[in-house]
Amino acid sequence: MTTHASTSEQRPPAPWGDDDSQRPVRLAELLARVSREALQGEGIDAVLRRIVDCLVQRLPVALASIVLLNDAGTAFVNEVWAGELELDQPQLVPSWPVSVGAAGRCARLGVAQLITDVDQDPDYVPGNCAVRAEYLVPIRHGTRLHGVLNIESTRSDFFTHDACLVFDAIADQVAGAIHLARLAAELEAANRKLAQLSMSDGLTGIANRRCFDQRLALEWQRAPAGEATLALLLVDADNFKALNDACGHLHGDECLRVLARLCSEALEGDRDLVARYGGEELVLLLPGRDLRAARRLAERLRARVQAAALPHPDSAVAAHVTVSIGVAALVASAATTPEELILAADHALYAAKARGKNRVAGVARRADRIRAPLRTRLAPA
């Protein structure tokens, strides 16, 4: 079980004499303070830590803790505490079953537990020998039991009716804070999933054009000026329209998925990216690769596609699916742009197509010579 001890500076609690007429006022002030603390901090642990700190700082209690249950409600899996714990170090165990301890009894029964004499309670687990009384409250939001609020005092008469009502209200505030924090975490996870989906191609599962555009721009920005080479492979399935016409779009879609997988398996670097560029075109972004290295990778990829022997009954090139690959490499600098790298790879792809398809062609030349519209002229091999 994960445990979190308070690290904030402990201040002595306010006087709490037997004849203290200000006790109701102080309890009300405590409730208001806990309510403010419940709105502070980032994440569940931070909020709970502020609350237990507040309780120990403002009450004559030896320990205050909040223990959270797993989703099944069978074990405590997280504890945040503050106060004077006489153990050398809190035990770190994966979980604490609800069959153990007074907190477990509170969770099992789902009702508050007032222990006026800890020496007489069979389930009490000692943590401070000076503790005389303990109050445990279920932390519940709606029908879900999140955990247990545990307060331990060195005074057997501390937990008056009014004090217990305040702790009941504090448990409700803790439950609300936990519920809101979990909703926020679930929303954040959902947003991450949506962001991931927005960057993925629905058919092939690889990155989409939007993701590729962002990564290319990022790689251009992060490259040291005039020092980093970026290579690009444009991969196009030969005679793909004829494949769809002959075998149907479902077969064509399956071929695209296989091509995407083969492209993904061809990646070598941690920063390499494969994306669906559009239609039957796939693109591989290879940071740090020069033209020679990129052409070697492209040739291996072309050979793997050929070896896969995906049927293509209406191809003018072979009886199976083949690809043409355009390769380009540029040094990222203030004088070049990502669009020029794409344009160079596009010219190379057009050259590969013009020379009979099922082949690799590449260009590496100055950016100021690669400014013609896409596919308006051949590029040298």
The residues carrying an active-site annotation are: 280
Q: Are strands 113-115 and 75-83 parallel, antiparallel or unpaired?
A: unpaired
Burial of 174 (0-12, 13-18, 19+ CB in 10 A): buried
DSSP string computed for 173-206: HHHHHHHHHHHHHHHHHHHHHHHHHHTB-TTTSS
In terms of phi and psi (left: phi > 0; alpha: psi -120 to 50; beta: otherwise), the region of 163 is: alpha
Q: How many other C-beta atoms are found inside a 10 Å radius of the C-beta of residue 29?
A: 13
**Tokens matching residue 299:** 């040739």
**Tokens matching residue 262:** 């083969």
Closest CA to 152 of 178, 171, 129, 172: 129
**Cβ contact 356:374 at 8 Å:** no
Alpha carbons 235 and 264: distance in angstroms, whole number: 12
User: Which single residue is written with the structure tokens 């679930």?
Assistant: 186
Alpha carbons 290 and 228: distance in angstroms, whole number: 9
Burial of 356 (0-12, 13-18, 19+ CB in 10 A): exposed
Residue 120's SS3 state is helix
What's 168's DSSP letter?
H
Alpha carbons 234 and 286: distance in angstroms, whole number: 11
Single-letter amino acid code for the residue at 244: N
